[in-house]
Amino acid sequence: MGKERPLWCVLTFALTGRRTPAPFWEQSLDQWDRMFTAGVRAYLTASRSAVPLMLPQGRGVIVNTTANVGALPYMANLYYDLAKHTVARLVWAMAEELRPHGIAAVALAPGFMRTERVEEAFRRAGMADRLDGPGGPSETPAYLGRAVVALAADPRVIEKTGSLLEVGVLAREYGFTDVNGTQPPPFRMPANA
């Protein structure tokens, strides 16, 4: 049996198709463009389109997803790390402008979600046996969706505006579960990752 790959290698492989991350000066600027166009710019564009629909109501919530940048180490990919931090700052800045209009903006950090792309990355990295192990993906996308529904239904959501919130924390606060009835805790990178 070969040396076990750290979890961050699986994440890198899922994002880039490379087993080890390239330093930023060797990465294509196309990768930067994809992360900022598909991530940050898409969030800004969607939010910009949604606000005029919320203004007449004097309330609403904009939710953008990111990672809990405060709880995770540097993910060995400058573009990815910067994109995740930028989303958190984008939400904070939007909250400053939206608060007087009763509209909340929050960044929502799911845990390690078990999506088809993540499952395939584990398989391609020869780590399918770690899918159900410690540090493996433990949340379904429905868990994140239930967090969004809970936030949208909260009449006091404005008190959370500008915040980076974790799905696992919100599950306990609002009392929702994942599809299997569990409440996975907030994601933390395993020590051996």
Q: How confident is the model at residue 181 (pLDDT cuts 50, 70, 90)?
A: very high
Q: What are 56's strand-pairing partners?
A: none
C-alpha to C-alpha distance for 183 and 192, rounded to whole angstroms: 23
Most confident of 18-27, 72-81, 123-132: 123-132
With bands split at pLDDT 50, 70 and 90, how would you rate the model's confidence at 6? low
Mind listing the pLDDT tens digit for each residue in 16-75?
555 566 788 988 899 889 889 988 999 999 999 999 999 999 999 999 999 887 766 676
Q: Can you tell me the distance from the alpha carbon of 107 to that of 127, in angstroms, rounded to the nearest whole number?
A: 30
Helix 78-98 vs helix 42-54: crossing angle, to nearest 10: 10
Read off the pLDDT of residues 140-155 as tens digits, 9 standing for 90 and up. Answer: 999 999 999 999 999 9
Distance between CA atoms of residues 6 and 2, nearest Å? 12
Q: How far is CA 51 from CA 45, 60, 62, 78, 141, in A?
A: 10, 9, 8, 31, 25
**Secondary structure class of 165 (helix, strand, coil):** strand
Q: What pLDDT, on the 0 to 100 scale, is given for residue 14?
A: 58
Please give the pLDDT value at position 2.
Answer: 44
Please tell me the distance from the alpha carbon of residue 113 to that of residue 136, in angstroms, as a whole number.
Answer: 9
Report whether pLDDT(156) > 80.
Answer: yes
Give one word for 118, left, alpha or beta, with left for phi > 0 and alpha for psi -120 to 50: alpha
Full DSSP string of 69-115: TTTS---S-HHHHHHHHHHHHHHHHHHHHHGGGTEEEEEEE--SB--
> pTM higher than 0.75 for the full model?
yes
Whether residue 4 is predicted with pLDDT greater than 90 in this model: the reply is no
Question: What is the DSSP secondary structure assignment for residue 159, as one 8-state letter?
Answer: G
Of residues 3 and 101, which shows the higher confidence score? 101
Q: Which domains does the chain have, with CATH numbers?
A: 7-174 (3.40.50.720)
